[in-house]
Amino acid sequence: MTTPPISRRVNAQGLDLHCLDWGNASAPPILLLHGLQDSAALWGTFAESVRDEFHMLALDHRGHGDSPRADSYRLADYVAETRDVIRGLGLDKPALIGHSAGSKNAWLCIADNPGIASKLVITDMDPDSYNPGSVAMISRYKGESDEYESVEAVVERLRSRQPNASDAELRRNADALTVGIGGGRRTWKRSRDVVTMYDRPDVWSRLPEVGAPTLIVRGAESTLLRRDVAERMQAAIPNCELAEIPGGGHWAHLEYPDVYAEVAREFLLRGA
């Protein structure tokens, strides 16, 4: 049976943040950063698939998962706490892998702190201040209730965003992202403020400052990171590659975890 990750705490920006650690501390470190509303636990399938080759750690950003609430949820806060977590955990030039907003946190951390990371994987995130797909997603988040009648209702909510994910993956995600409130009902674990305070400045100008070899991964069917935008990003980042996951959407790493792991592993191991 696979050994589950251990929970660790690390101080960042005055917050006692939670992270998951899959062990293998003598291997090259990788820090995983989730997207808006998600959590460290959603990286579980990917982390399990590469834990024998890397030291896998995943962060619960402020207001998410088992990390505490905060007074501010601005992009700059997430970027600063990423830096503090790397230092606080004593990670020596880890690779950073982000999904969605976590990708932006990762590349801005690298741009702000040259030499802090060895490699970067951006998963389905753009640098624009306005993205129609993101606007639609945030509008839905703001308009829907945080509470669900059952875990099955949460599974169906997640299926609407990642329709090609397996039932087992959806159930794991539902359990990780919500908590019971009695009578079988569930509510999101994240603070609602992470949605209402979300900010999206234009950060195209920061891409040339990403001084680590970079891989952009997009779901071929994603409405959040279009192919033309991904190609512009690839051209803007000095040492950058682009890969697509056929049939995948914004959560392609959860829909096609084997394909995602293969693409990421090949990039991460190259030159190691």
pLDDT digits over 39-69, tens only? 999 999 999 999 999 999 999 999 999 999 9
Closest CA to 96 of 112, 124, 81, 116: 116
- Cα–Cα distances (Å) from 193 to 97, 196, 236, 257, in that order, read 24, 5, 32, 30
Asked if residues 240 and 215 have their Cβ atoms less than 8 Å apart, the reply is yes
Distance CA 122, CA 107 (A): 8
Residue 253 lies in a domain: yes
Cα–Cα nearest to 194, from 77, 51, 22, 104: 77
* Domain annotation covers residue 239: yes
CATH number for the domain that contains residue 35: 3.40.50.1820
What pLDDT is recorded for position 6? 98
Under DSSP, the state recorded for 4 is: P
Query: pLDDT tens-digit profile of 127-139?
Result: 999 877 777 777 7
Estimate to the nearest angstrom the gap between the alpha carbon of 118 and the chain centroid.
18
Structural domain harbouring 21: 6-129+202-269
Radius of gyration of the chain (CA): 17
Angstrom distance (rounded) from CA 270 to CA 259: 17
Residue-wise pLDDT for 70-94, tens only, equals: 999 999 999 999 999 999 999 999 9
Contact of 173 with 36, CB cutoff 8 Å: no
The number of distinct structural domains making up the chain is 1
Calculate mean pLDDT across residues 179-188.
96
User: How confident is the prediction for the chain on average, in pLDDT?
Assistant: 95
What is the rounded distance in angstroms from the CA atom of residue 103 to the CA atom of residue 125?
6
Statement: residue 272 has pLDDT above 70: no
Q: In 164-214, which ranges are continuous DSSP H helix?
A: 167-177, 193-196
Return d(Cα 141, Cα 149) in angstroms, integer.
17
- Where on the phi/psi map is residue 14: left (φ > 0), alpha (ψ -120 to 50), or beta? left
Q: d(Cα 77, Cα 2) in Å, to the nearest integer?
A: 34
pTM over 0.75: yes
Q: What is the pLDDT of residue 263?
A: 98
Residue 218 placed within a domain: yes
- Euclidean distance between CA atoms 207 and 13, whole angstroms: 25
Q: Is it the case that residue 220 has pLDDT exceeding 60?
A: yes
Question: Is 20 inside a domain boundary?
Answer: yes
pLDDT in tens, 120-173: 999 999 999 987 777 777 777 778 889 999 999 999 999 999 999 999 999 999
* Per-residue model confidence (pLDDT) at position 57: 98
- When pLDDT is averaged across residues 91-115 and rounded to a whole number, the result is 98
Residue 196, domain member (yes or no): no
Cα–Cα distance measured from residue 47 to residue 236, given in angstroms and rounded to the nearest whole number: 29
Q: Is residue 137 part of a domain?
A: no
Q: What is the largest CA-CA distance in the chain?
A: 53
Confidence of residue 9 (pLDDT cuts 50, 70, 90): very high
What local confidence, expressed as pLDDT, does residue 143 receive? 80
Mean per-residue pLDDT for 4-17?
A: 98
Contact 22, 54 (CB under 8 A): no
Within a domain: 82? yes
pLDDT band at 188 (very low <50, low <70, confident <90, very high): very high
| Structural domain includes residue 175 | no
Q: CB 216: neighbour CB atoms within 10 A?
A: 25
